[in-house]
Amino acid sequence: MPELRLEGVTKYFKVERHKRMAVQDIDLTVRQGEFVFLNGSSGAGKSTILRLLGGDLSPDRGAAYLDNVNMNRYFGPFQYRLRRTFGYVWQDTRLIRKRTIYDNLYLAAQSGGLRKRSAESVEKALSLVGMLGVQENYPAELSIGQVRRVELARALVCSPPILLIDELTANLDDDSIWDLMHLLHELNQRGTTIIMATHASRYVNIMRRRVVTLIDGRLAGDVRNGRYAQTGPRKITFQKGTKRRR
């Protein structure tokens, strides 16, 4: 399974005629099988980090690596590997409103290269998130919680080794959030790497996984078994295959 690494990464976005720094000088390694929460206020850079880790954005400085290969080199046919490596759940829904749930997931399976097993993969993904029976529904016919589950199923349809999740729990009630956290825990126990940006502080504190905290685009904390937005001296760094805490 793959490892992700950001080395000295800085990313700017153009706002009108000016450049705005989104993240700056980020060094971050996520190893296979980890469960990482990204914390920080709105605008701290969480979504940008997810997009950089998934190869959806290229850094302006520094480099993003997938298994020691700079992702800037994944062009042409190599982009296929990126599509099969990552499952994405973004803040804004990516479901096509005029397509049924089955069609939405089927198209995702097809674009991921599952030509002969697309129908089987759709059923498996919906079953995994507890949403079998909604195949013929349209997104507008589902509740917010159901839509978020379907979006997670869409991310899982090609069985990616890494899930990148941006605010999956926003606007959900406590029961729905806990059900999704339990599901993510089960997926992680089976070996899926999960990197999740969230403001669900209560559940981050309960689960006590690795917590990476961003403040104004900079890495402010990286703590194992951490609490929500925890900062301080216990940052985690990885060097040459060893784990060192400083």
Which pLDDT band, with edges at 50, 70 and 90, does 185 fall under?
very high
| Check whether domain 4-93+161-245 has CATH 3.40.50.620, yes or no | no
Q: Report the pLDDT averaged over residues 222-246.
A: 62
The residue count of the chain comes to 246
Assess contact for 65 and 4: CB atoms under 8 A. Answer: yes
Q: Report the pLDDT averaged over residues 143-165.
A: 94
pLDDT at 245 over 50: no
Q: Report the pLDDT averaged over residues 111-117.
A: 77
Q: Report the pLDDT averaged over residues 121-128.
A: 94
Q: Report the pLDDT averaged over residues 213-222.
A: 96
Domain boundaries, the chain: 4-93+161-245
Residue appearing with tokens 């690494």 = 5
Assess contact for 8 and 61: CB atoms under 8 A. Answer: yes
CA 31 remoteness from chain centre: 14
pLDDT at 101 over 70: yes
> Which CB contacts under 8 angstroms, 24+ apart, belong to 223-226?
226/37
pLDDT in tens, 28-69: 999 999 999 999 999 999 999 999 999 889 999 999 999 988
Q: Which helix or strand (DSSP H or E) is residue 82 part of?
A: helix 79-85
Residue 234 DSSP class: -
Q: Report the pLDDT averaged over residues 226-237.
A: 67
Total-model pTM: 0.89
